[in-house]
């Protein structure tokens, strides 16, 4: 029985070694989604808002401006632009973009980032451009939604906006050798459990 367990262990180690030797070079990062608005077009983004007045998603200036013109104002007004993207492989994701929210006197205005409808980042930049990079982790395979927008609280009146540019979602696939390594470790752990169980029954 000991010889049999040793043979199985050696087989698992052999698989692990072979995977390390035969696996290809580390997988390169792949762009899942990007938009730099160089075509001056944001019509493929979908607008949502809770404001009944003028609200716009505009890409005609080479970046995307999301704004609302709010006389006579309101409370917790927002405009959001959303775009779907598809995940077809496992691996951590990184979202990068540049953004700015407009200056605001006597109110709060900020730009927001949403993933599948959940706010994952929010920041008031008061006109300054921020270069942001957010780790999205591993998402389930299939369709997801990125949202970028502006929110203003206790607004009186004015032009409330946020701008976004150079948006990209990049994924680094999990190397096959790493997956094989995890499988091999699981096999070794199972053999150790089985050995203890047989020893206890003897």
How many C-beta neighbours within 10 Å does residue 160 have? 25
CA 151 to chain centre: 21
pLDDT value for 199: 59
Q: Could you read off the pLDDT tens digit of each residue along the chain, which spans 202 residues?
A: 545 444 444 444 444 444 544 455 556 889 999 999 999 999 999 999 998 888 999 999 999 999 988 766 677 889 999 999 999 999 999 999 999 998 877 778 899 999 999 999 999 988 899 999 999 999 999 999 999 999 988 767 778 899 999 999 999 887 655 444 445 445 555 455 556 655 566 5
Contact 42, 58 (CB under 8 A): yes
pLDDT value for 6: 41
pTM for this predicted structure: 0.74
Rounded to whole angstroms, the Cα distance separating 152 from 144 reads 26
pLDDT value for 184: 46
Angstrom distances, CA of residue 11 to CA of 2, 16, 21, 168: 14, 9, 15, 43
Q: Is the dihedral of CA 62, 63, 66, 71 positive or negative?
A: negative
Give me the residue label for tokens 């998402």: 139
Angstrom distances, CA of residue 48 to CA of 52, 54, 63, 83, 108: 11, 12, 18, 11, 20
**Helices and strands, counts by H and E, the chain:** 2, 11
The CATH superfamily holding the domain 30-174 is Galactose-binding domain-like (2.60.120.260)
pLDDT value for 115: 98
């Amino acid at each position: 029985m000991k010889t049999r367990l040793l043979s199985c262990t050696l087989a698992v180690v052999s698989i692990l070694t072979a995977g390390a030797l035969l696996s290809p070079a580390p997988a390169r990062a792949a762009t899942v989604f990007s938009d730099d608005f160089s075509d001056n077009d944001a019509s493929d983004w979908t607008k949502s808002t809770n404001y009944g007045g003028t609200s716009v998603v505009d890409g005609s200036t080479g970046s995307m401006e999301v704004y609302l013109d709010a006389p006579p104002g309101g409370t917790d007004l927002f405009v959001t632009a959303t775009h779907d993207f598809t995940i077809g492989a496992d691996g951590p994701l990184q979202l990068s973009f540049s953004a700015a929210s407009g200056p605001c006197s006597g109110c709060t205005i900020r730009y927001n980032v949403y993933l599948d409808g959940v706010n994952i980042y929010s920041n008031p930049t008061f006109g300054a451009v921020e270069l942001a990079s957010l780790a999205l982790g591993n998402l389930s395979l299939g369709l997801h939604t990125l949202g970028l927008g502006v929110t203003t609280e206790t607004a009186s009146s004015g032009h409330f906006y946020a701008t976004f540019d150079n948006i990209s979602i990049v994924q680094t696939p999990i190397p096959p050798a790493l997956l094989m390594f995890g499988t091999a470790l699981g096999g070794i752990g199972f053999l150790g459990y089985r050995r203890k169980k047989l020893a206890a029954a003897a």
